[in-house]
Amino acid sequence: MYERYWLLSRRPFNAPGECANESLAAPQQALLEKLRFSLLDSNGVAAVTGFPGTGKTTLAGCLAREMRYRGGHVAWTTTSVFDASSLLRHYAQQLLPGNSSTKTSSLSPALLQDQLQERMLEQGGKYLLLVDEAQSLNEDSLALLKRLVETAAQPMLKTNPPRLQVSLLLTGHAVLRDIVRESPSGFGTLVTPFTLDTLKRDQTGPYLEQALRAAGGQQTYFEESAVDRLFRESRGNLRLLNRLADLSMLAGFVRRRASITEAEVEAALQEVALPQAA
């Protein structure tokens, strides 16, 4: 709606799934590099925790896209409540050719696991398994994931380069760390924990400007008072910051401003229900 007025090619804060560095905030860029090394270049298990809206799912999507680009296999589930059987069926439907939900529902979990591991062993290559909202996993699910990841650790597969690579990314709330660490299966010994932080004040302005440049922007759009207010109201939460910045740009268009001031941010705040402070 406001793109032409601001001489932009698209809305700068409304592009979910963008993975180019210029579209990611500084904390996301830094963590994405670590996850590439841990999960795409070798076997690994990582757990990324953070507040809702910090960009965990975006990072998972970026890794999935890159794994597919490298010719690897990706299985991703975002179901918020599931046991080991339903988790296994989600993965089987995505990784076993010709397996619809109807077919997988008629197979026992043990048979599905055998088929999935046999497929990995026969086909080789790289696999990336993802679980979003992983704080909902129960102990049976963690034990299943541990067995799937350890498929690549069999002695016959220890070649250079590895013939089979299986990596796993869990994303979720802070409690996920405790769930993983306390797992009786020993799952926690496999996991490298990471935290995706909210933006700091000195990262907020540069993020806004880089997002605008990625959308074709050629000027400084947000005055410092507006950036201060955006940071203060969003508390550095990327999802909320993007929403407020988008609405501020809209308010500036409606008011025919030359730049975004705190007044436009105030107008944006009237449209957004802010979370209550803890």
pLDDT (tens digit per residue) in 1-27: 899 999 999 999 966 556 766 678 999
Cβ(121)–Cβ(151) below 8 Å: yes
Average pLDDT over every residue of 46-71: 93
Q: Is residue 77 included in any domain, yes or no?
A: yes
**For residue range 179-202, what is the model confidence (pLDDT) as tens digits?**
999 999 899 999 999 999 999 999
Average pLDDT over every residue of 123-133: 92
Residue span of the structural domain in which 241 resides: 201-269
| pTM of the shown model | 0.87
Binning the chain into helix, strand and coil, the percentages to the nearest 5 are 55, 10, 35
Average pLDDT, rounded, for the chain: 88
State whether 176 and 210 are in the same domain. no
Looking at residue 81, its pLDDT comes to 59
Q: Is residue 244 included in any domain, yes or no?
A: yes
Q: Is residue 5 included in any domain, yes or no?
A: no
Cβ(272)–Cβ(239) below 8 Å: no
Average pLDDT over every residue of 41-70: 93
- Whether residue 276 is predicted with pLDDT greater than 70 in this model: the reply is no
**For residue range 70-109, what is the model confidence (pLDDT) as tens digits?**
999 999 987 665 788 888 888 888 988 776 555 656 677 7
Residue 236: name the closest of 267, 262, 266, 275 by CA: 275
- Whether residue 239 is predicted with pLDDT greater than 90 in this model: the reply is yes
- Whether residue 155 is predicted with pLDDT greater than 80 in this model: the reply is no
In terms of DSSP bridges, do strands 73-77 and 191-195 run parallel, antiparallel, or are they unpaired?
A: unpaired
Domain count, the chain: 2
Looking at residue 85, its pLDDT comes to 87
State whether 54 and 175 are in the same domain. yes
- Whether residue 278 is predicted with pLDDT greater than 50 in this model: the reply is no
Pick the last residue of a domain from 195, 223, 252. 195
Q: How confident is the model at residue 42 (pLDDT cuts 50, 70, 90)?
A: confident
Distance spanning both ends of the chain, measured CA to CA: 35
State whether 43 and 165 are in the same domain. yes
Pick the last residue of a domain from 195, 214, 238. 195
State whether 46 and 125 are in the same domain. yes
